Structure 1
Amino acid sequence: MAGEAANRADAGQTRRRGAVLEEAILAAAVDELTESGYAGLTMDKVAARSGTNKNAIYRRWPNRLALGIAAYRQLATTVQPPDTGSLRGDALDFLRRANRHWSSPLGAILRELLAAAGGTSELQAQLQEQSSDAVAAPWLTILGRAVARGEASPEALHPRVATVAIVLLRNEFVVRGVPTAPDDVLVEIVDEVYLPLVRRRGPVPG
């Protein structure tokens, strides 16, 4: 009888398939990550919470880190870029938002995942705010507005140029291991590196 009950339970667990089951697993992983951080995230807890078995999870995510990254990506929302009326104002505002995020509870999860990813370049690429295109898009919007205002040349509209400021800030977090960067570091990144680089990318239309 016990074996029959177990079989029925297993059958119930496997009824959900495809996207429905994947969504249930991700929702459970998000809840675990939010409540316990990456350190408390386990395949057993996610399986129990989502009402499935570990094999169903491993078929979609090969390990705990991959699942943690997928769950973090569900938590991380796309932020609209600021529109302060100047390139300097927009860049500083956006860096300050990123700085606050890094020291927030969600940022703490991101730091845990980065530490766990270590030198695993493929997973780190997934973790770095989903993709290079996603990172560049709001910065290209900021630069596009600057071009329209006559603050920058169209030649500045290059993804590598656009993302220099956020890459330098991320480097502060990763290399120095700090939960937040001083505001004067953000000002220095913008005034000493970002704005001079943008202005050197060709003559400003005039």
Structure 2
Amino acid sequence: MAGEPTPRQGAGRTRRRGAALEEALLRAAVEELTASGYAGLTMDKVAARAGTNKNALYRRWPNRLALGVAAYRHLARTLPPPDTGDLRGDVLELLRRANRHWSSPSGAILRELFTAAGGTAELLAQLQDQSGETVAAPWLTVLERAVARGEAAPEALRPRVATVAIVLLRDEFVTRGVPSAPDDVLVEITDEVYLPLVRRGPAPG
């Protein structure tokens, strides 16, 4: 039928198992998510696109929200961290990248998923764990460089401290419900919160 997703060429001819099948399912879910947003994501469409049946999906993800979260995480790409030669420049660039992402089509999908996750703590944590190891990595990298240059205290090299700026920016999006923050908010987060914190290091626990 017109408008129905078509299975990938050769789908179903080779029996896929384990990681290969999961990769195919996630790839199909990413394609559906980017084509239709979370509102248009269904288990039926993803199964059809992957050339399999819904049971293969339900064995891995209990519902379309869990699948949507997994697909978004699969979609996310990590860019190399900036290296401006200056901690302030690196922090602002990381925040500006995040700001641009939130106003992009991928960012719109993420906002849809945050709204749909609502009080589902586990799935919300998975979305916010775009600030787990994946998001912490570039922040720790720029902070390590800053420590080597004498711009930051070695005690600041902790994931929770390193990601304070991006967490504050995410809070702007969540509490204000806007797709992007003004640049002066990014500057304020950098100059009034982040730099003073990492320069003196966090208080001993």
Common topology (TM > 0.5): yes
Shift of 1:185: 0.3
Whether 2:76 is the aligned partner of 1:76: answer yes
What RMSD over aligned residues (CA atoms) do the two structures have, in Å? Answer: 1.6
Aligned residues with identical type, % of pairs: 81
Contact 2:152/2:200 (<8 A) preserved: no
Cα distance between partner residues in 2 of 1:132 and 1:167:
11
Cα distance between partner residues in 2 of 1:146 and 1:138:
12
Cα distance between partner residues in 2 of 1:17 and 1:198:
47
**1:135-179 Cα deviation digits (max 9, x unpaired):** 211111111101111111211212111111000000001111000
Shift of 1:134: 1.9
- The one-letter amino acid of 1:124's match is L
Moved more, 122-131 or 49-58: 122-131
Cα distance between partner residues in 2 of 1:150 and 1:62:
49
Moved more, 148-157 or 87-96: 148-157
Which residue pairs with 2:150 in the alignment? 150
Match runs of 1:1-206 below 5 Å = 15-130=15-130, 132-201=132-201
Q: Structure 2: 5+ residue runs without aligned partners?
A: 1-11
- The one-letter amino acid of 2:65's match is L
**Change over 3 Å in CA distance of 1:163–1:85 after alignment to 2:** same
Contact 2:131/2:163 (<8 A) preserved: no
Q: Structure 1: 5+ residue runs without aligned partners?
A: 1-11
**Change over 3 Å in CA distance of 1:182–1:131 after alignment to 2:** closer
Report the TM-score when normalising by structure 2: 0.88
Cα distance between partner residues in 1 of 2:166 and 2:61:
29
Contact 1:13/1:53 (<8 A) preserved: no
Cα distance between partner residues in 1 of 2:189 and 2:176:
15
Contact 1:114/1:124 (<8 A) preserved: yes
Shift of 1:131: 5.4
Moved more, 103-112 or 130-139: 130-139
Cα distance between partner residues in 2 of 1:158 and 1:131:
13
Question: What is the count of residue pairs matched by the alignment?
Answer: 191
Cα distance between partner residues in 2 of 1:131 and 1:190:
17
Cα distance between partner residues in 1 of 2:48 and 2:111:
26
Shift of 1:19: 2.0
Cα distance between partner residues in 1 of 2:144 and 2:130:
22
Greater Rg by CA: 1
Report the TM-score when normalising by structure 1: 0.88
Cα distance between partner residues in 2 of 1:152 and 1:85:
13
Cα distance between partner residues in 1 of 2:66 and 2:14:
22
Cα distance between partner residues in 2 of 1:84 and 1:146:
11
Contact 1:84/1:90 (<8 A) preserved: yes
Shift of 1:200: 2.0
Tell me the SS of whatever aligns to 1:198. Answer: helix
**1:58-105 Cα deviation digits (max 9, x unpaired):** 001111011111111121111211111111111011100000000001
- The one-letter amino acid of 1:110's match is L
Which residue pairs with 1:8 in the alignment? none
